[in-house]
Structures are given as structure tokens and as C-alpha cells.
Amino acid sequence: MKLGAFSASLSVKYIKASKQFYETLGFHVYAGQMEKNYLIMKNGNALIGLFQGMFENNILTFNPDWNESANKVEPFDDIRDIQKHLKSKGIKIEKKVDENNSGPASFMVYDTDGNAILLDQHV
């Protein structure tokens, strides 16, 4: 099973301060909008999303249809197939994807320590 591009989505208190901190670590703004309180920062293959006021806890994010440069990957494991596999292994799915549809969709699971993992397909 291929989960695709990985990023950490961080819930931050002050996006300007967080941006400055991650720039000091060598990241640069790759996408997002400061005025909408979110930025995607990149350093090589590493991606970090900074989100102010959008969610409480940090989230691990996978995009099965993208690489780390947000370019479409072909072939990729469709999110519905990933969901079926996880369900077959007893993993509880939050906000299940309709397995009879196609296209963009997302769902979330939690690891054994309560860490949120978002699987988010764009195409």
C-alpha cells in the first residue's frame, strides 16, 4: 500500500512566529496564504503545514495521489482501496469515504496513541 506524499500539519498559535522559526531551520514557503492563516513550508522533500486556528492537534497527512512537489503520481493507490485495506485490518475509520464513488476524498484514522492521520486524495 502506497500512502503518497507525507506532511505534518501543525496547529500553531502564531503563524508569523512559526513561519520565522521554520525558515530558520531552512524551510521556505511553498504554498498557502498568510492572510488565510495557513502556509505549506518545504525543505527538500520535507513538508510542514502551519495552520493557525483551524484544528486543535497536529495531524500526520498523506496524499496518495501526490508526490512531495504536489505533482500527480501515476499509478497511485486509490483512497477507497486504502480504506478497504485498513477496515479489513480492524482499523476504525473516521468519516468514511463512499467506496462507490471516485475522485477527491479524505478520511481520518487515529493511531494507538490517539495521533490523527489524515488520508487526503485530490484527484
Give the start-to-end residue ranges of the domains of the chain: 5-121
**CATH, range 5-121:** 3.10.180.10
Tens-digit pLDDT profile for residues 1-40: 899 999 999 999 999 999 999 999 999 999 999 999 999 9
How far is it, in rounded angstroms, from Cα 93 to Cα 15? 30
Task: Give this prediction's pTM.
Answer: 0.87
Tens-digit pLDDT profile for residues 65-78: 999 888 999 999 99
